[in-house]
């Protein structure tokens, strides 16, 4: 049932609004709404019950193993939430004077410093509100850098074909054309193709390392040299640093700019689709272009650096200073991990991924890159099952739900047919990984004995498989009273 179907005229949660009703004095008739807004009229308990029940229809990290590749579904410590929601933090107005902001600014400054250290970059700006905005900031800085040198001939951004879809979309938003670079059979960037593609038109390259194929790009230094020699800059899509935290730093690899999805590596919640935080780190030459505001420390006082301080900044990307509450959660998480904890994240996310990969291989599953180590994630391809049993990666994914596991990422990266991108993260115990392996093996057995059963999954969820074509053709995007759903 929809909340609107619980609605009865005149019912309300009376404790939640001013008890005394006042008129809008001085508001002329021509500005006034003629008909009351069509919102539900329900009691407080009805609301609580309705949304509590809805929540129970979700899979989540708190309730299930959620090995969604490229998304880093690790445990979100509860303290990160409760402490970020202390009254002093949530009641602070974004435009409060610095005299009333030193506690918050101290956290933000220290977060900048910690992110500088783990990435090896020279400076950090925390303001981008998600990975895609961090990417935008990164490419906009590359553009600003070339423009500041009067170099207007660079019109092209190179993007490996394994890249996240956001990479090419971002390059276009920044006014660039995109040239795709193929991947070789081992999952590395095809060096010959790269060398053939670079030139005076190259503004830069957007690269993920470890790549979305779940492998470390071994020739990264060579790539950096090729791009830098051509006058281009390197952008690091650090959507996920889980496998390299404390092991290797993008700054040391030669990158000029990086964005970090704090909602992945630094465990801020995914919230059913955000909010995220996509902080950016920059090398020396991009320092003047950082998005504003940035926090500075002068003596024992903290203050915002704004347009007057960073006159060449690419500007601001939100009304205030980004997703501050998310940044606080990342800060708290990093302080709880501490120096040693950073290394352990990489150690155990890599251990879990390689263990899961070894166990699935034992059970007869095909790996996309059997000769390579897994990083924080790896790819299984079900091409053979699709051909022999007519059971696809999507069928496996849906059937996994019946076994109580969220599906891995399916059909991404696009290069590997019938792929499952699997990322267990460091917070899962060995028993959970073994349970997942058992489920995959059971589904494989079903695929051989009763493929129809797998193709019809799921059976235990609130719904069976959906008619997505109908959803896109016969758009039903809001409830209209009296129209049957």
**Sites for another protein among residues 337-356 (CB under 8 A):** 337-344, 346-348, 350-352, 354-355
Residue range at the interface with another protein (CB under 8 A); choices 196-204, 227-235, 279-287, 336-344: 336-344
Alpha-carbon distances of 285 from 257, 288, 289, 307, rounded to whole Å = 10, 7, 9, 18
Does residue 379 bind another protein (CB under 8 A)?
Answer: no
Handedness of CA 13, 14, 17, 21 (dihedral sign): positive
Does residue 372 bind another protein (CB under 8 A)?
Answer: yes
Contact indicator for 239, 208 with CB cutoff of 8 Å? yes
C-alpha closest to that of 164 among 134, 125, 121:
134
Alpha-carbon distances of 170 from 21, 22, 174, 278, 281, rounded to whole Å = 49, 48, 6, 14, 17
Does residue 146 bind another protein (CB under 8 A)?
Answer: no
Does residue 154 bind another protein (CB under 8 A)?
Answer: no
Q: Which is nearer to another protein, 239 or 386 (CB)?
A: 239
Contact indicator for 435, 424 with CB cutoff of 8 Å? no
| 3-state SS assignment for residue 356 | helix
Contact indicator for 295, 305 with CB cutoff of 8 Å? yes
Q: Which of 151, 184, 252, 438 binds another protein (CB under 8 A)?
A: 252
Does residue 475 bind another protein (CB under 8 A)?
Answer: yes
Residues whose CB is less than 8 angstroms from the CB of residue 342 and which lie 6 or more positions away in sequence, other chains included: 118, 245, 246, 334
Tell me which residues in 401-420 interact with another protein (CB under 8 A).
401, 406-407, 409, 412
Does residue 155 bind another protein (CB under 8 A)?
Answer: no
Does residue 366 bind another protein (CB under 8 A)?
Answer: no
In the complex, the smallest distance separating the C-beta of residue 383 from another protein, rounded to whole angstroms, is 21
Whether the bond between 38 and the residue before it is cis, its omega within 30 degrees of 0, is no
Q: Which is nearer to another protein, 301 or 384 (CB)?
A: 301
Does residue 373 bind another protein (CB under 8 A)?
Answer: yes
Q: Which is nearer to another protein, 227 or 317 (CB)?
A: 317
Does residue 300 bind another protein (CB under 8 A)?
Answer: no
Q: Which of 66, 236, 255, 289 binds another protein (CB under 8 A)?
A: 66
Q: Which is nearer to another protein, 323 or 381 (CB)?
A: 323
Residue range at the interface with another protein (CB under 8 A); choices 197-205, 282-290, 382-390, 400-408: 400-408
User: Residues in contact with another protein, total (CB under 8 A)?
Assistant: 199
* Rounded-to-integer distance, Cα 332 and Cα 267, Å: 10
Residues whose CB is less than 8 angstroms from the CB of residue 461 and which lie 6 or more positions away in sequence, other chains included: 401, 402
Structure tokens at 300: 């024992």
Q: Which is nearer to another protein, 225 or 343 (CB)?
A: 343
Q: Which of 50, 122, 228, 297 binds another protein (CB under 8 A)?
A: 50
Length of the chain as a residue count: 485
Kindly write down the DSSP assignment for every residue of 390-434, as one continuous string.
Answer: ---HHHHHHHHHHTTB---EES-STTSTTEEEE---TTS-HHHHH
Sheet order of strands, 366-367 included: 366-367, 378-381, 419-422, 409-410
Q: Which is nearer to another protein, 196 or 429 (CB)?
A: 429
Contact indicator for 266, 333 with CB cutoff of 8 Å? yes
Q: Which of 65, 67, 69, 104 binds another protein (CB under 8 A)?
A: 104
C-alpha closest to that of 436 among 473, 396, 389:
396
Residue range at the interface with another protein (CB under 8 A); choices 51-59, 229-237, 279-287, 384-392: 51-59
Question: What backbone torsions phi and psi does residue 126 show, to the nearest 5 degrees?
Answer: -95, 0
In the complex, the smallest distance separating the C-beta of residue 72 from another protein, rounded to whole angstroms, is 10
Does residue 173 bind another protein (CB under 8 A)?
Answer: yes
Residue range at the interface with another protein (CB under 8 A); choices 99-107, 195-203, 381-389, 438-446: 99-107
Does residue 397 bind another protein (CB under 8 A)?
Answer: yes
Kindly write down the DSSP assignment for every residue of 261-288, as one continuous string.
Answer: ETTTTT----TTT----EEEEE-GGGGG
In the complex, the smallest distance separating the C-beta of residue 377 from another protein, rounded to whole angstroms, is 13
Tell me which residues in 261-290 interact with another protein (CB under 8 A).
263, 267, 269-276
What x-and-dash track marks residues 213-232 binding another protein by CB under 8 A? --xx-x-xx-----------
Structure tokens at 331: 């800060």
Does residue 395 bind another protein (CB under 8 A)?
Answer: no
Q: Which of 69, 138, 160, 291 binds another protein (CB under 8 A)?
A: 291
Q: Which of 358, 384, 438, 445 binds another protein (CB under 8 A)?
A: 358
Q: What is the DSSP letter of 233?
A: E
């Amino acid at each position: 049932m929809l909340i609107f179907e619980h609605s009865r005229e005149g019912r309300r949660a009376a404790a939640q609004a001013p008890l005394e009703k006042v008129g809008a004095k001085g508001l002329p008739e021509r500005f006034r709404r003629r008909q009351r807004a069509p919102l539900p009229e329900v009691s407080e308990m009805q609301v609580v019950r309705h949304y509590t029940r809805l929540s129970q229809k979700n899979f989540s990290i708190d309730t299930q193993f959620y090995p969604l590749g490229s998304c880093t579904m690790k445990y979100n410590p509860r303290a990160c939430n409760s402490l970020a929601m202390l009254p002093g933090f949530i009641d602070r107005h974004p435009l409060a004077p610095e005299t009333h902001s030193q506690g918050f600014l101290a956290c933000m400054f220290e977060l900048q410093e910690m992110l500088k250290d783990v990435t090896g970059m020279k400076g950090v700006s925390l303001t981008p509100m998600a990975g895609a905005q961090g990417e935008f900031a990164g490419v906009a800085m590359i553009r600003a850098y070339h423009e500041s040198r009067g170099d207007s001939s660079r019109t092209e951004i190179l993007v490996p074909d394994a890249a996240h879809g956001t990479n090419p979309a971002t390059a276009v938003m920044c006014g660039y054309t995109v040239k795709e670079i193929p991947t070789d059979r081992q999952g590395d960037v095809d060096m010959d193709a790269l060398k053939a593609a670079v030139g005076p038109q190259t503004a830069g390259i957007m690269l993920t390392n470890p790549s979305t194929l779940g492998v470390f790009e071994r020739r990264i230094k060579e790539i950096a040299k090729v791009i830098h020699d051509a006058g281009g800059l390197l952008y690091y899509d650090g959507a996920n640093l889980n496998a390299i935290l404390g092991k290797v730093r993008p700054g040391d690899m030669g990158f000029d700019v990086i964005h970090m999805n704090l909602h992945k590596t630094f465990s801020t919640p995914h919230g059913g689709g955000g909010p995220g935080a996509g902080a950016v780190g920059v090398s020396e030459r991009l320092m003047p272009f950082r998005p504003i505001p940035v926090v500075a420390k002068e003596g024992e006082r903290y203050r915002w650096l704004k347009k007057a301080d960073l006159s060449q900044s690419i500007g601001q990307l939100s009304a205030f200073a980004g997703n501050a509450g998310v940044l606080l959660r990342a800060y708290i998480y990093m302080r709880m991990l501490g120096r040693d904890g950073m290394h352990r994240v990489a150690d155990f996310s890599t251990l879990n991924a390689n263990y899961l990969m070894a166990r699935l291989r034992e059970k007869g599953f095909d790996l996309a890159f059997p000769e390579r180590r897994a990083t924080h994630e790896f790819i299984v391809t079900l091409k053979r099952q699709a051909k022999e049993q007519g059971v696809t990666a999507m069928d496996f994914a849906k059937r996994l739900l019946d076994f109580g596991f969220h599906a891995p990422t399916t059909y991404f990266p696009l290069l590997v047919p019938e792929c499952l991108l699997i990322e267990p993260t460091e917070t899962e115990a060995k028993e959970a990984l073994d349970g997942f392996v058992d489920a995959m093996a059971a589904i494989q057995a079903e695929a051989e004995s009763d493929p129809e059963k797998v193709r019809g999954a799921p059976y235990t969820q609130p719904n069976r498989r959906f008619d997505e074509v109908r959803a896109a053709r016969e758009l039903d995007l809001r409830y209209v009273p009296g129209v049957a759903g």
